[in-house]
Amino acid sequence: MATTDHYLNRELSWLEFNQRVLDEARNPAVPLLQRLKFLAITASNLDEFFMVRVGGLHGLASRGVAQLDPVGLSSSDQLEKISQRARRMLQDQYTCWNQELEPELAKVGIQCLRNDQLSDVQLQSVVGRVEEELLPVLTPMAVSDEADFPLLSNHTLHLCVRCAPEAGSDEARYAIIPFLGPLRRFLSLPAETGSAFVLLEEAIAMTVARFFPGETVNECVAFRIVRNADLSLRDEGLYDLLAGVEEVLDARKQSATVRLEIADSSSDGLLRFLQHRLGTTDRETYRIAGPLDLAALMQLSNLSGFDDLQYPQWSPQPSSQIDPSRSMFEILQANDVLLYHPYESFEPVLRLLDEAADDPDVLAIKQTLYRTSRHSPVVSALKRAAESGKNVTALVEVKARFDEARNIEWAKQLEQSRVQVIYGVKGLKTHAKMCLIVRREAQGIRRYVHLGTGNYNESTARLYSDVSYMTCQDNVAADATACFNAISGYSQPQELNSLEMAPIGLREKLLEMIEIETQRKLAGERAHIVAKLNSLVDTRMIDALYAASQAGVTVKLNIRGICCLRPGISGLSENIEVISIVDRYLEHARVFYFFHGGDERVFISSADWMPRNLDRRIELLVPIEHPSSKHRLIRILDTYFRDNVKARRLQPNGTYEAVSAGSQLGPVRSQEVLYQEACELAAAREFRPTVFEPHRATGSE
């Protein structure tokens, strides 16, 4: 790990996070198919890391930008260190697959067979499927010179075929077979028991002569590339934003190759041919001792009939705060509601939108959309509301990386339903999670607000830990209105009463809260900070935490991913503890706690402590003042720091070590504790005695 006295390198810290995910794949205590899923996730994560972070560094290096990171490394220095660390990670990934998971899967009847392991019946099945299903679909492309080299798709598997030279020539002839379209990576095979599969590339390799009749095939090797996806859109002054985004999507299809993966069986000649045509060097080339693209293993991780190899099902629980017999509007009029997903169901959020869409007293709905599901009920509710005559505004962030195409399609559909669509804000990404509902009631206009740490995506709400907060408090609703007005028009952002918004005041508010703790400690008072984040990169925030530690403030940080802060250094950060938890759910919530002289302050936020979130995005910081909601979040934060099963503690040098259980404690797995608490709360509500309340005539006693 590259370090200075003060900071850890951002990119290497991310790779250590991915290693912690890989550790779960190698953990025998984790169910087998869940381990397979973790391995697939690490491969998918690594692809995105190369597309974005390595791609960006390649761009800086190629332009000769002499920019050093906070550790003092140039772009080229970082690329070299990333290459070294990524190779060790790939070695661990393939050790995990070749020596651990694949043999364990075979023991339970899930076999991934190679060509020389097929029975006659299985071989006949493969040949038949190639003839019937693959030969008509796949299209080999001959490559005779550089001008003929095809445009290869990003992170798609290809075969490179080397044929014998033509008569009178010494030059080998090459062809590329791309695996495009909806092809399954694992072909099922007949098996007496269990399930048997063969990799698609192995099936093609054993029958490749059928694709090249009359030719002598000397070599057939699988490879794939990862392209630079860090292509930013300069949207200031752009006349047509959608056209600009679509141009970026097209540019990604032919951007520079930042990683070449190739089967280690490849000859040097074939490898040099591909490197030359793709413009890659040995630093960008990774020889793979096993199946390429381990992310494809996700296809096997949900095999039916193997429930005992998965985690036991944890169904999202109904919230004890939600009475299903009452409307969401009635519930919020009585009390604020705080939900902690996925332990508690996301259904009340969807229900609020559904009720708003169908309620004739609702006048307007305003909504931000950053990432949504493929068949989004949120989008459906907004369309239905607009079609019924309500004033509906949706800010669809079409610059959300890797969701641009889907968001453009949603934006067009919403416009067709008469929704007023805003395509983000010039120069910024809108990452805030906010919904505002305006309703006409007997007492006048009332506004209802949902604010959260996660996206409006009911699918990821079952996989990510996030906070939802719903209220109709006037001060919060007024601020939400002001935020929407600021991002939907030319109006200057107004001073907010309760919320804070980046890039205007969010960073300053956080620094102020840290400084208050620091000054209280210097005055001899008790001071304490707890923060739960995905990433901590911003050096100003880190320096403020260092100053707090030096004053004696106890600082506890729960950071899932990147952490550039070095904890436990005498005279700098000895009062700072950093843990990371990787478990069945992705830790995604951002929650901050400040002791504040006993007047405890708790916030949720859409923003991590990174320069991009604090300076280049529209984000929200939301104070939680409702007493029971605030105290519940404090208990949740405390639960994570009691974890001695999945928690890993960051060391000063950037490595992580398992948290010791200690002599007095039994095993505490925080996600399991939080789920059990959600179950207990739901059960308490379910068995609450029923009270019959009669309707009485007006004036009766």
CATH of the domain at 367: 3.30.870.10
How high is the pLDDT of residue 662? 66
Query: Average model confidence (pLDDT) for the chain?
Result: 91
228 and 351, same domain (yes or no): no
Lowest mean pLDDT: which of 369-373, 450-454, 662-666? 662-666
How high is the pLDDT of residue 248? 67
Angle between helices 75-95 and 10-25 (to 10 degrees): 0
Residue 1 lies in a domain: no
Residue 4 lies in a domain: no
| Mean pLDDT across 546-567 | 98
377 and 250, same domain (yes or no): no
Cis amide leading into 611 (omega within 30): no
| Mean pLDDT across 640-657 | 96
Contact by Cβ (8 Å): 353, 327: no
Range among 65-69, 429-433, 446-450, 696-700 with highest mean pLDDT value:
446-450
Angle between helices 32-49 and 75-95 (to 10 degrees): 160
> Is the pLDDT confidence value at 267 over 70?
yes
Residue 322 lies in a domain: no
| Mean pLDDT across 19-43 | 97
429 and 518, same domain (yes or no): no
Q: Which helix (H) or strand (E) holds 559?
A: strand 554-559
> Is the pLDDT confidence value at 692 over 80?
no
490 and 530, same domain (yes or no): no
Residue 570 lies in a domain: yes
Lowest mean pLDDT: which of 31-45, 222-236, 302-316, 434-448? 222-236
> Is the pLDDT confidence value at 181 over 80?
no
* Farthest-apart Cα atoms in the chain, separation: 111
How high is the pLDDT of residue 693? 64
End of a domain among 473, 497, 521? Answer: 497
Q: Which one of 58, 155, 341, 431 is the catalytic residue?
A: 431
465 and 534, same domain (yes or no): no
| Helix/strand/coil for 233 | coil
Higher pLDDT, 671 or 1: 671
* Tens digit of each residue's pLDDT (9 = 90 or more) over 481-527: 999 998 887 566 778 999 999 999 999 999 999 999 999 999 999 99
Residue 544 lies in a domain: yes
Residue 431 falls in the annotated catalytic set = yes
Higher pLDDT, 1 or 155: 155
Q: Are strands 391-396 and 420-422 parallel, antiparallel or unpaired?
A: parallel
Residue 59 lies in a domain: yes
* Tens digit of each residue's pLDDT (9 = 90 or more) over 423-468: 888 889 999 999 999 999 999 999 999 999 999 999 999 999 999 9
How high is the pLDDT of residue 146? 64
Q: How many domains does the chain have?
A: 3
End of a domain among 447, 477, 497? Answer: 497
Domain of 26, CATH number, reads 3.30.1840.10
56 and 24, same domain (yes or no): yes
End of a domain among 274, 309, 344? Answer: 309
> Is the pLDDT confidence value at 582 over 70?
yes
Range among 88-92, 181-185, 396-400 with highest mean pLDDT value:
88-92
| Mean pLDDT across 538-557 | 98
DSSP symbol at 556:
E
Mapped to the 3 state alphabet, what secondary structure does 352-400 carry?
HHHHHHHCCCEEEEEEEECCCCCCCHHHHHHHHHHHCCCEEEEEECCCC
How high is the pLDDT of residue 119? 93
Lowest mean pLDDT: which of 90-94, 166-170, 214-218, 624-628? 166-170
Containing structural domain, residue 638:
502-686
Higher pLDDT, 693 or 605: 605
Q: What percent of the chain has pLDDT over 90?
A: 77
| Mean pLDDT across 191-205 | 92
Q: Which band of pLDDT confidence, cut at 50, 70 and 90, is reported for residue 11? A: very high
Which residues share a beta bridge with 422? 395
451 and 575, same domain (yes or no): no
Residue 144 lies in a domain: yes
CA–CA distance, 644 with 659 (Å, rounded to integer): 5
Of 400, 404, 405, residue with least CA distance to 431: 400
541 and 447, same domain (yes or no): no
Of 599, 105, 559, residue with least CA distance to 306: 105
475 and 573, same domain (yes or no): no
676 and 558, same domain (yes or no): yes
> Is the pLDDT confidence value at 249 over 50?
yes
CA–CA distance, 336 with 632 (Å, rounded to integer): 13
301 and 399, same domain (yes or no): no
Lowest mean pLDDT: which of 329-333, 354-358, 492-496, 573-577? 492-496
Count Cβ atoms within 10 A of the Cβ of residue 337 and give its class: 0-12 exposed, 13-18 middle, 19 or more buried: buried
What pTM did the predictor assign?
0.92
295 and 377, same domain (yes or no): no
> Is the pLDDT confidence value at 236 over 60?
no
How high is the pLDDT of residue 701? 43
Count Cβ atoms within 10 A of the Cβ of residue 692 and give its class: 0-12 exposed, 13-18 middle, 19 or more buried: exposed
> Is the pLDDT confidence value at 700 over 50?
no
Residue 62 lies in a domain: yes
| Mean pLDDT across 370-394 | 95
Q: Which band of pLDDT confidence, cut at 50, 70 and 90, is reported for residue 233? A: low
How high is the pLDDT of residue 22? 98
